[in-house]
Structure 1
Amino acid sequence: MKLGFRRTAVQALCTVLILCGLIGGTRVWGRDMPVAAFGKEEGVELPILMYHSILKDGARQGKYVLSPNALAADLDYLKKEGYETITVADLLAYVKEGAALPQKPVMITFDDGYFNNYVYAYPLLKDRGMRAVVSVIGSQTALFTENGEENAYWSHLKLEHLEEMQDVFEVQNHSWNLHEYGERRGCLRRKGEDEVSYESFLREDTEQTQELLVEAGLPEPTCYTYPFGACSKESEQVLRSMGFQCTLGCSEQINTVTRDPECLYGMGRFNRPAGVSTSSYMKKALGE
């Protein structure tokens, strides 16, 4: 068979497939993108679970405080259902290097960096061979590193804890000190604040946590976790210009991870409150 005839035959076949709707494009983040292979690029569904404080005291449990027993039940549920934990580093390897992800990936995140994460969450995860992401408030880590306090109710993780837990926890940036309610909500621009001042402010705050962690010998964070989940186009632009390759918000949605780096910005997560059974929470968070 001559090459020209073979090419003509292939082109004819492709034309038929296009007319039948078997070859087309896929919509990624609002843009039509061509797909090299037959069919639609599906991507990988990634649920991200969001935890905060872990305490035994039932009187303290609520929207952002969960018991160790409830956390253990959640982890056992994930193991039983065949989910495998991943970190931001795994996402970057998948998107940028073509590495594989587990068949049923899940990301477990802990916000704020409470000392009780070390007391309760760390051993529970380690015993099960699971990984997680902890996003620390830099000023709090610096404060308790300096004063040495270790109280499950109010202390935050010290740098030595973060160093010790690297076999389980990947450390990311949750701002230096943007968790106070006031004129600014999280890292959002204040009313009347000019663009230059805002960018300078956000860069300075973010860089303080980056420097704290790097100077302690920890890997430089690649992901920014928004305080209160409050984000904007302006904040995204600043963080991207600083080299962040991923941002985590608080919108409750399951993420679809593709080879497009854009999919790693503004990722959704499901907060885990007390007072809800493991099965009910997981049904919602995992889309089961």
Structure 2
Amino acid sequence: MGKIKVGLIGIGNCASAIVQGVLLSRRDPSRTKEVLYEDIGGYKIGDIEFVLAIDVDVRKIGKDLGDAIFEGPNIFPRLIDETKTGVKVIAGPVLDGVAEHMRDIFMPHGKEVSMDDIVRAIKDSGAEIIVNMLPVGSEQATRFYAEAALRAGAAFINGMPVFIASDPKGEWQEKYKKAGLPLLGDDIKGQFGATILHSSLTALMRERGITVNETYQLNIGGNTDFLNMKEEERLMSKRESKTSAVAHTLKNPAELIQTRRIR
């Protein structure tokens, strides 16, 4: 079988984990045993090939993807010695991808990057799937890349909480359906984090006949994602996404959300 050609948008900690995970699985396939679905339709993790990488940080642009994942402000640990991919990180448009209070941390470039530039880059790379991992609150930037992937004829996986695949108006779903392209998302859960633990507990309570009148979770973290979310406006879609994930394990999700008894 052939390779799955993937383009990454946002070369942060999540991208570092994905890139290193793929490279590690090629070197030692036994390391994939903890992955939920080790084989999908005959494809395995090692079949993923990174062909495109886009970021806005001057420390990452122009570097090999395998080197850029260790540039600041990334803090995900090194899992493998050799990470070269042969793919150089290119500049994407900043748009709303960097919060004002994060500009000294992310160090965005000052270049003009157009839709045509990105569509051309996707086509030239041969990317079949674009994976979006921009910071929370990147509403405009996420829609930009969803449109770019669509124009370039690539599938789009949205790994952050902007409602594209779950667009309540159905506009994005219709566009991708019409183009015959896959669209997945939004806001991918980590393997084991606060939301999956919270929703598992509330689902268990429902199964055991317990009525949940009110519940909330507090997320504590030390990476740029949490620093980014200090700006309340950027947190709105994230909160809605996480609240919905937990609420729908209970009997009366709409009421709990409306009365703010689930947070």
TM-score (norm 1): 0.32
More strand by share: 1
Ranked by relative contact order (alpha carbons within 8 Å, sequence separation 6 or more), the top structure is 1
Task: Give the structure with higher Rg (CA).
Answer: 1
